[in-house]
Amino acid sequence: MLKFTIRLKLTFSLNKKKKRGSLTDIKPRQGFLLFIDRETERLSKQRKPSTCSNYMTARRSLATFLGGEDIAIERVSPTLIEKYSSWLSARGVCSNTISCYMRSLRFMYNTAVKRKRTRQQYPFRNVFTGNEKTRKRALTKDEMKRIEEIKPADGTFISLARDIFMFSFYAMGMPFTDIAALKKSQISNGMITYRRQKTGQEVKVGIEPCMTKIIKKYSREDSEYVFPLHNGMHGTAHRAYEKLLNWYNRALNAVAEQAGIRGKLTSYVARHTWASMAYHNNVPLNVISQAMGHATPRTTLIYIKELDDRIIMKANRKILNKINGKTSVQEL
């Protein structure tokens, strides 16, 4: 009787169906940071370097929060992620940067779920993963003039940063990444022709005297590049560029201080400023879009500084005057 009972239980256990998502479906335990490392390495052959860089930046941030210790994937819980988000906020990290980290980590976590490394716990459900609208900064004509007229000592980082900033503005808002990669072979017959690294759009820029002056200042026979930026780029291309961009933005803060400009000065301010000034000087939106290498004019709208209230009020007055049969616009 005892033997029969044991056999019955064994038979029942063997024939019992596995529940979906049971422990037998989950592969052996693995650390989340290690999983991100291996997955990023695999994806590096398929995706843009910038995307993989975002994954690794988020990974390094999480590793710092964890004190350098890895954590099992199944321990990545809503509570842990909420604590991590609060930790980032306390360190002064802006909400959009936090959101970028969270989206990268969420992608990796969801990939781990698909690979059956853990059960889905939706750990990112209570943290911000959207994008807050940020106002793009554009300088005034007077501010640009003050930057142009400062006199930093030649051969200094501040001098190079100021010249690159002005060159970006002169060249219809050429992005820093494209300036850093600009070669002498891309200059011919008074024209710069380059293809934007971000969009692949070809852009042609007519060389003006102010641009020629800067180009000649940094011309070196032993380099194929227009600016002496590649000499300091070591390691993987994208990581090296990130370091270079960080240096440039730090140097621009010193430029802003010398020029007496309040607020943060970054590489993209020159680009935003050119777009804003072009728009306010009645350059058609589609022309600005082409000059900046945008795929569509919709993207260009992001770069255009908001019209001030007086212009909007004047436009409204013009419309109302037409309705009332008036042909002139009263000055406000």
DSSP at 225: B
Question: For residue 92, what pLDDT is reported?
Answer: 74
- Cα atoms found within 13 Å of the Cα of residue 174, Cβ hemisphere only: 25
Phi, psi of 140 (to 5 degrees): -85, 170
DSSP conformation letters of 249-264: HHHHHHHHHHHT--S-
Q: Encoding tokens for residue 39? A: 């997955």
Q: Is 147 exposed, middle or buried (0-12, 13-18, 19+ CB in 10 A)?
A: buried
Compute the CA torsion angle 57, 58, 61, 65 (nearest 10 deg).
Answer: -160
Question: For residue 256, what pLDDT is reported?
Answer: 95
Phi, psi of 174 (to 5 degrees): -60, 130
Tell me how far apart the alpha carbons of residues 56 and 130 are, in angstroms, rounded to a whole number.
20
- Domain positions in the chain: 26-134, 142-266
Question: For residue 51, what pLDDT is reported?
Answer: 83
**Which of these, 188, 148, 170, 178, lies nearest to 293 by C-alpha position?**
178
Question: For residue 42, what pLDDT is reported?
Answer: 92
86 neighbors 78 (Cβ within 8 angstroms): no
What is the chain's length? 332
Give the Cβ contact number of residue 255 at 10 Å: 23
- The CATH code that applies to domain 26-134 is 1.10.150
Tell me how far apart the alpha carbons of residues 159 and 53 are, in angstroms, rounded to a whole number.
30
- The CATH code that applies to domain 142-266 is 1.10.443.10
Per-residue pLDDT of the chain (332 residues; tens, 9 = 90+): 444 343 434 333 334 444 444 444 555 578 999 999 999 999 988 877 778 888 998 999 999 999 999 999 999 999 999 999 999 988 878 788 899 999 999 999 999 999 999 999 999 999 988 877 666 688 999 999 999 999 999 889 999 999 999 999 999 999 998 999 999 999 999 999 999 877 778 999 999 999 999 999 998 989 999 999 876 454 455 567 778 888 999 999 999 999 999 888 988 899 989 988 888 888 888 898 889 888 778 777 766 655 455 566 777 777 787 777 654 434 43
194 neighbors 178 (Cβ within 8 angstroms): yes
- Cα atoms found within 13 Å of the Cα of residue 216, Cβ hemisphere only: 7
Question: For residue 263, what pLDDT is reported?
Answer: 85
